[in-house]
Amino acid sequence: MGFTLIELMAAVAIAGILAALAAPSFSSLIASQRAKAVASELFGSLSRTRSEAIMRNTAVTLSPKAGSWQSGWQILDPSNAANVLDDHGSAGGMTINGPASVTYRASGRLGAGAAPSFLITATAGSATAYQCVSVDLSGRPYMVAAPSC
């Protein structure tokens, strides 16, 4: 009382078909999670930059590495630019469009008229996902899943 070879082959074929049908939705899930993960890291860095500015009572800047947000970003010590307070590595396979830098004043607010936003685009297979990280004038960052900021 076991399975015959034909029954086993039929079960494997059905499992293969079901896996092939599910694969595109996994691509969408992977792209979405990658975009959310990078957006969350950037959100945390913006919050930390704001906290450092308030704590140190001086302006603190979050800037991209090598002039590109895809290369990573860092928070530099305002009293010694050679000292890095926080450092994030490359966001491989992502596109991040954002401002040249974000500077928080000692009050924890941004400069006049500045309301930066970052558009993060992640792709996995044929699926593309977007996350937007924006900062309001009071200096608080927030995240939105949207194709534009």
Output the pLDDT for position 3.
79
Output the pLDDT for position 101.
92
Domain containing residue 62: 5-144
Determine, yes or no, domain membership for 67.
yes
Determine, yes or no, domain membership for 24.
yes
pLDDT band with cut points at 50, 70 and 90 for residue 13: very high
For 79-119, write each residue's pLDDT tens digit. Answer: 887 788 899 988 888 999 999 999 999 999 997 777 899 99
Contact 110, 103 (CB under 8 A): yes
Determine, yes or no, domain membership for 149.
no
Output the pLDDT for position 126.
83
For 45-74, write each residue's pLDDT tens digit. Answer: 999 999 999 999 999 999 999 889 999 999
Q: Tell me: pLDDT of 76 over 90.
A: no
Output the pLDDT for position 26.
81
Q: Which of 35, 71, 26, 24 is nearest to 146 (CA)?
A: 35
Contact 52, 105 (CB under 8 A): no
Determine, yes or no, domain membership for 122.
yes
User: Rounded to an integer, what distance in angstroms lies between the CA atom of residue 67 and that of residue 73?
Assistant: 9
Determine, yes or no, domain membership for 92.
yes
Model confidence, pTM: 0.82
Output the pLDDT for position 78.
84
| Residue 132: CB atoms within 10 Å | 19
Determine, yes or no, domain membership for 120.
yes
Q: How many domains does the chain have?
A: 1
Q: Average pLDDT, whole number, for the chain?
A: 89
Output the pLDDT for position 2.
77
- For the chain, percent of residues with pLDDT exceeding 70: 98
Determine, yes or no, domain membership for 129.
yes
Output the pLDDT for position 36.
95
Q: What is the CATH number of the domain that holds 81?
A: 3.55.40.10
Determine, yes or no, domain membership for 47.
yes
Output the pLDDT for position 127.
87
Q: Tell me: pLDDT of 149 over 80.
A: no
Give the DSSP H/E element, type plus range, for residue 137: none
